[in-house]
Structure 1
Amino acid sequence: MPIFSHAPDIWADFPDLTACALTIDGVRATADVTRHLDHFSAEAARRLEGTSEGDLPEIQAWRRSFSKMGLKPTQYRCASEALLRRFKKEGSLPQIHPLIDLCNAISIAFAIPIAVFDRDQIDGDLLVRRATGAERYLTFGGEIEQPEPQEVIFADASRNAHARRWTNRQSATSAIRPETTRALIVAEAQHENGAGDVARLHATLVDTLGAVWPLAGRSALLTADAPRFPFD
């Protein structure tokens, strides 16, 4: 059975990391998630009242981690910050697929990045690790990129990079499509209260996704002592 995990050096280099993962089956692109989107969007709007997304502790922690990775945090942003910036500017997020829309809404409510992968497009284990420079990343424009050596990526057994710069950008290879039925969802945080917030986010994902797609599968909180999550 394939395993999702973070490499030991990732846990060592980023000791504040906390994460959760879950699987979901029976995904349908026709599901109605409007009620849930409204609820989580309202929570995101409440959190942004009188402040900037960059002042949220969840976002500040990812900015520090991006700086530690040698990335300019105002050039490369974690996914939740990018979504919050768009939400604050436009008042809503684009609707792509009900599963993506729901995870994006939960992401902005918690200010924690959530990655969603089509499990059928992942070859073997999926590992958050530093790149060797030999991996292949497919952009949404159809171009092939090669991650920089030591860049933090999500890599499978065939050296497909399913995300670049950790939580910055996912790949088209495992993007959710109308025909997707099985997904792997990963959320990660690095702020001071991350363990508690990820636990709450984990429970929210399980409850909300299970209400829309009853075939929600296994789920787990991940730590350096328990880093492995079987996902198929």
Structure 2
Amino acid sequence: MSKFVIKDDFWELFPQAEIAVVVAKRIDNTEASAEPVRPDIIELLEKANEDAKKFITKDPLSENEVIAVWRDAFKKFKTKKGARCSIEALLKRVQKGKEVGCINPLVDLYNAVSLSFGLPCGGEDIDTFAGDMRLTVAEGGEPFLALGDEEYDEALPGEIIYKDDEGAVCRCWNWRDGQRTMLTEDTKNAFLIIESVDPGRSGDLRQAAQKLEELTVKFLGGTARIEFMNINKKEIPL
């Protein structure tokens, strides 16, 4: 069984970080299976787009609290130019009036949770992992093919990445996801992540994880469990 390990080099930079993991097993993420509940998922995502406006009270966008903490966090490690936290990317769309739309059922669910709680959420297909998944500081050179790209890039030395034995899985912590481990309609076992760098939002993180677990099982079946990770809990089985 593979593991998810948050390495010590990460905790040296972010000792107060908290990460919630939802491990979902035996789900059905196909559009065919989700068809009867598709209107409910769409309504959930539309409501989340509207709810997200509560996080945007200042201009420029970067000065809003849920984004500012991540701007500060991204200054602590090497990033590719222009890299931003995933929640900033979502809220930027909302601010511009471009709703975050449908991708596939599970991605729609975690995007809805991300927008509703103002926290970065992501997900990967466990069955595509090569060895253990790690959140760590990159050595540099880890191969990475981003969603939408046709050519491989490489992680930078000192960059925070999710990686396995084959290379980078998500770059600049939660900036860009890779094609190799992406959630698809074929996904049966999913690794879902919610991240916080603000100790004052522990309660929000827990509520978000509980909501994501609940929605995943409700709409996609299977089972799910939540693991809360911090500097005192650095490793979990997948």
Q: TM-score, normalised by structure 1?
A: 0.90
Residue identity matched to 1:20: A
Offset, 1:72: 8.0
Task: Please give the residue correspondences for 1:179-218 in structure 2 after superposition, counting only pairs within 5 Å.
Answer: 179-218=186-225
Is there any run of 5+ residues in structure 1 with no aligned partner, and where? none
Instruction: Please list the CA deviations of residues 179-230 of structure 1 after superposition, one character each: whole Å capped at 9, or x if unmatched.
Output: 2222110111102413222111111111222211221322211111112121
Count of residue correspondences:
229
Instruction: Please list the CA deviations of residues 121-169 of structure 1 after superposition, one character each: whole Å capped at 9, or x if unmatched.
Output: 11111001111124111123221111111111111123x2001111111
Q: Is the 1:66–1:72 contact (alpha carbons within 8 Å) kept by the matching residues of 2? A: no
| Cα distance in 1, alignment partners of residues 69 and 162 from structure 2 | 20
- Alignment match, 2:22: 22
Task: Please give the residue correspondences for 1:52-63 in structure 2 after superposition, counting only pairs within 5 Å.
Answer: 53-63=61-71
- Alignment match, 1:143: 151
Matched, 1:64 2:65: no
| Cα distance in 1, alignment partners of residues 237 and 115 from structure 2 | 27
Q: Is the 1:21–1:229 contact (alpha carbons within 8 Å) kept by the matching residues of 2? A: no
Matched, 1:100 2:107: yes
Q: Is the 2:51–2:116 contact (alpha carbons within 8 Å) kept by the matching residues of 1? A: yes
Query: Alignment partner of 2:162: what SS?
Result: strand
Q: Is the 1:58–1:112 contact (alpha carbons within 8 Å) kept by the matching residues of 2? A: yes
Offset, 1:52: 5.6
Instruction: Please list the CA deviations of residues 35-88 of structure 1 after superposition, one character each: whole Å capped at 9, or x if unmatched.
Output: 321332232133335666423322111110111114488x21101110110122
Q: Is the 1:22–1:186 contact (alpha carbons within 8 Å) kept by the matching residues of 2? A: yes
Q: Is the 1:3–1:125 contact (alpha carbons within 8 Å) kept by the matching residues of 2? A: yes
Q: Is the 1:188–1:198 contact (alpha carbons within 8 Å) kept by the matching residues of 2? A: yes
| Cα distance in 1, alignment partners of residues 14 and 58 from structure 2 | 30
Taking only aligned residues, the RMSD between alpha carbons, in angstroms, comes to 1.9
- Alignment match, 2:162: 154
Residue identity matched to 1:28: N
| Cα distance in 1, alignment partners of residues 13 and 84 from structure 2 | 19
Percent pairwise identity: 25
- Alignment match, 2:54: 46
- Alignment match, 1:4: 4
- Alignment match, 1:220: 227
Task: Please give the residue correspondences for 1:111-150 in structure 2 after superposition, counting only pairs within 5 Å.
Answer: 111-140=118-147, 141-150=149-158
